[in-house]
Each structure stands twice: as structure tokens, then as C-alpha cells.
Structure 1
Amino acid sequence: MGVVIISFLTGIALGIVFSLLKLPIPAPPNFAGVMGIVGVYAGFVLINNIM
């Protein structure tokens, strides 16, 4: 769980840096894009747990 929290906090810090530097966010800018990434991860985990 510690790795998840560190990853989340790192993401927040990078989001702040990208915003302050007026750079485009290196992630999908909408919820549908984020859910696509979650879906790819879920599919990967699902297949690895089945096989």
C-alpha cells in the first residue's frame, strides 16, 4: 500500500510541475481516456491471474 501512496503523491507533484510550467499533461485529459488506461491494466491483470 505504501507504493500506491507514493505513486499517487508523485503523480500529484508532477501534475503541479506540469501545470506551473504550462506543459500539456502526459495523460488523457478526460475521464474516458483514464478509464481506457484502467481497462488495459485490468485486462492485463485478469489474463495473468487466469493463466
Structure 2
Amino acid sequence: MNQVILATLSGLIVGGLFSWLGLPVPAPPTLAGVMGVVGIYLGFTIMNHWK
């Protein structure tokens, strides 16, 4: 759980920094894009457990 919190905090810092510098976001800019990445991760994890 500690890794999740640290990853979230670092993501918030990096996202804020990119916004402050006027750079494009280094991640999918929409919820649908983010959910696509989550789906890829979940599909990979499920298949590894299923094999």
C-alpha cells in the first residue's frame, strides 16, 4: 500500500510540474485513456494468474 501512496504522490507532483511548465501531460489526457491503461494492466495480471 505504501508504494501506491508514493506512486500517487509522485504522479501528482509530476503532473503539477508538467502543467506549471506548460508541457503536455505524460499520460492519456482523458479518463477513457487512463482506463485503457488500467485495462491493459488488469488483463495482463489476470492472464498471469490464470496460466
Deviation at 1:40, TM superposition (A): 0.1
1:23 paired residue number: 23
Which amino acid counterpart does residue 20 of structure 2 have in structure 1?
Answer: L
Q: How many residues align?
A: 51
User: Which consecutive aligned stretches of 4+ in structure 1 deviate over 3 angstroms post-superposition?
Assistant: none
Which amino acid counterpart does residue 26 of structure 1 have in structure 2?
Answer: P
- Could you say what secondary structure the match of 2:25 adopts? coil
- TM-score (norm. length: structure 1): 0.96
Partner deviation per Cα, 1:1-51 (whole Å, 9 max, x = no partner) = 000000000000001110111000011111110110000000000001111
Q: Which runs of 5+ in 1 are unaligned?
A: none
Give the % identical residues: 51
Q: Which runs of 5+ in 2 are unaligned?
A: none
